[in-house]
Structure 1
Amino acid sequence: LLSSSSGLTPSNQKFLNSYSSCCSILRDAHHILPVLPQNRGTLGQSWDPRLPFPLPSDSFKYLGWCDIEEHGVRGNQLLCPRVREGPSEEELFFRKEEYTLKRRKQVTDTEKWEKRLQENWENCAELNLSFQDLGDLYQVENLKRILHRLIRVEKLWLVDNSLTDLSAIRLPRCRELNVNKNHFTSFRQLPKIPQIQHLSLAENNITSLRGISDFRHTPLESLVLQRNPCEFQERYRQKQEFKRDV
């Protein structure tokens, strides 16, 4: 390898010059006076003068990843996407955040179809939709809309989403499902999972083992039920280890 008298290779010297330039820019940034965005008047009372002024990017904070223009990312390329939608228009007005509405527009049928193709949930094989903060009903409905499309998913995580009933969902190829820290009270509230091998239901509210026998028709190998009320049932362990030939 060629090296300079300083002991640095040409590539290292190039990196060092670039790094020094970046440091210089960051150093100068401390002396730049803050400039308020031009749309300051549209923010209304949503700005608290005790807090830093809202950034220009705040107008994008309720957009989903597939609503941002000029990128070609598809759903099956993401392992942990945020799929919850932004607040409704009524909620935004209530929060005095109507300034974000300027980024929303009427969507044509063509754009809806393009969005569906971009989401591409049908081709997801492994997906983590945990911690989605589904505080409103329309957020839950949007998640269920996506779950209906996961016809090829094999590994799925839905941890801590306050879910109560997914019995209308069918996941025909799902082999591993983690729904820890939700609000399921019965096995009958789970999605249809005929190929399930590993199911984790820890920290839910399963009170009874009624319905567990339905899994005898599946290749189930492991079932996690820690910290559910059913753990306190008499002969809990014997009932959990059901016979496949029953």
Structure 2
Amino acid sequence: MSESSSGVNTSSDSLPKSHTSQGSELRDTHTPLSVEQSPDSGFVTTPLPSNRFRFISWHRLEESDVRGDQLSCPRVREAGPSEEELYLRGEQYALYASGSRRGRRRRGEEDQVQKWEERLQENWENCVELNLSYQDLGDPYQLENFIRILRRLIRVERLQLVDNALKDLSSVRLPRCKYLNLHRNHLTSIRQLPKMPQIQHLCLSENGIGALGELSLLGATPLQSLTLRRNPCEFLEDYRPRVFSCLPKLCVLDGIPKLPEDSVPSPMSAASRLCTIL
């Protein structure tokens, strides 16, 4: 089995059985693949059969019946805004000025039909486990499409969103999510997290969270383990006791189980650490 950059599993059981032009090339081609020399290892490498599809999303393969919930690591970042979006931005006026109004309308209707069919094929509503990490969301259009997909994950239980430069997911609700990995993003507040009433394991390492008081917003969830490593809040005084004070049901913090010294410090012990100058 091989996987293209768009997340397509190109094994014989994941592609449609119909003899499409793309499918027949994968299964029936007898043309030897090009041979390349690896400069590092010196070994001769042969490109995988999926190499020819590395710039194509799975739902753009003709007659492909692969759906989004059948992929483990799909690439959902769009290549760029549609021509209509560019036209509204004023970045592609020359392209539209050269075509007729009737042709643009017909093309727009066809694009809407194709987009609707692709969204049905995505089938995000039935995803249970999904990895959408490293999407490289460089354009606001791509981020908007990414948030659109997250809002459709009504059944996902395990979700990986590593290194996506995400700043605010408060508009997203993940009603069944139990495991969420938001390692290495740009979150600065617990209020920017999605709604996760069933969350049990949450990773927020390498973000910009500085306040601990907002952790109480997660108090109503069945959260068992939390990772806040490499956030500014990690350097606050009494960091671990304060976290467990906000989340009494928490069992593991930063990979370390709750220890006796992680209990809330008493006022007497806090006063004993003060230095008295006579």
Alignment partner of 1:183 is 2:190: no
Q: Deviations over 1:100-148 (max 9, x none)?
A: xxxxx64354433322220000000000000001011111110000001
Q: Which ranges of structure 1 fall in alignment gaps of 5 or more residues? A: 1-21, 31-56, 99-104
Matched, 1:145 2:148: yes
Match of 1:66 among 59, 63, 74: 59
The TM-score, its normalising length taken from structure 1, stands at 0.67
1:215 pairs with 2:218: yes
Note the alpha carbon deviations across 1:69-90, whole angstroms, 9 max, x for none: 2211000000100000012355
Distance in 1 between residues matched to 2:32 and 2:219, nearest whole Å: 64
The reply to whether residue 82 of structure 1 matches residue 75 of structure 2 is: yes
Q: Does 1:231 align with 2:230?
A: no
Of 103, 107, 125, the residue aligned with 1:122 is: 125
Instruction: Give the percent of matched residue pairs that are identical in Structure 1 and Structure 2.
Output: 57
The 8 Å contact of residues 62 and 86 in structure 1, kept in 2 or not, is answered as no
Task: Tell me the equivalent position of 1:243.
Answer: 248
Residue 158 of structure 1: how far off its partner (Å) = 0.3
Post-superposition Cα deviations, 1:195-235, rounded to whole Å, max 9, x if no partner, equal: 00000000000011121012111110000000000001111
| Helix, strand or coil at the partner of 2:213 | coil
Whole-angstrom distance in 2 between the partners of 1:200 and 1:206: 12
Distance 1:135 1:25, change over 3 A: closer
Q: How big is the shift at 1:65?
A: 2.2
Unmatched 5+ stretches in structure 2? 1-29, 36-49, 96-106, 251-278
Partner Cα separation in structure 1 for residue 225 and residue 195 of structure 2: 17
Change (3 A) 1:59 1:223: same
Deviation at 1:60, TM superposition (A): 7.3
- Distance across 1 between alignment mates of 2:126 and 2:170: 22
Are the equivalent residues in 2 in contact too, given 1:65–1:82 (CA < 8 A)? no
Separation (CA, whole Å) in 1 of partners of 2:146 and 2:185? 14
Structure-2 change in CA distance of 1:108 and 1:230 (3 Å): same
The 10-residue stretch of structure 1 (126-135 or 233-242) with the greater mean CA deviation from structure 2? 233-242
Aligned mates of 2:191, 2:222 — CA distance in 1: 18
Q: Which amino acid aligns with 1:180?
A: H
1:61–1:130: structure 2 CA closer, same or farther, 3 Å change rule? same
Matches of 1:25 and 1:228 in 2, distance apart? 51
Q: Does the CA contact (< 8 Å) of 1:179 and 1:200 recur in 2?
A: yes
Q: In the comparison of the two structures, how many residue pairs are matched? A: 184
Normalising to structure 2: TM-score of the pair? 0.60
- Where 2:219 maps in the other structure, the secondary structure is helix
SS, match of residue 211 in structure 1? helix
SS in 2 for 1:73: coil
Q: Distance in 2 between matches of 1:108 and 1:140?
A: 20
Pick aligned residue for 1:111 from 102, 114, 118? 114
Say whether the 8 Å CA contact 1:163–1:182 is kept in structure 2. Answer: yes
Query: 1:15 is matched with which residue?
Result: none
Q: Secondary structure of the equivalent of 1:219? A: coil
Instruction: State how far apart, in whole Å, the 2-side matches of 1:126 and 1:59 are.
Output: 27
- CA-atom RMSD in angstroms: 2.9
Q: Is the Cα–Cα contact under 8 Å of residues 202 and 227 in structure 1 kept in the other structure?
A: yes
> What is the distance in 2 between the residues matched to 1:78 and 1:139?
20
C-alpha distance in structure 2 between counterparts of 1:25 and 1:184, whole Å: 48
Instruction: Supply the distance in 2 between the matched residues of 1:212 and 1:110 (Cα, whole angstroms).
Output: 44
Note the C-alpha offset of 1:25. 4.9
- CA offset at residue 58 of structure 1? 11
> Once the 2 structures are TM-superposed, how far is the Cα of residue 184 of structure 1 from its aligned partner?
0.1
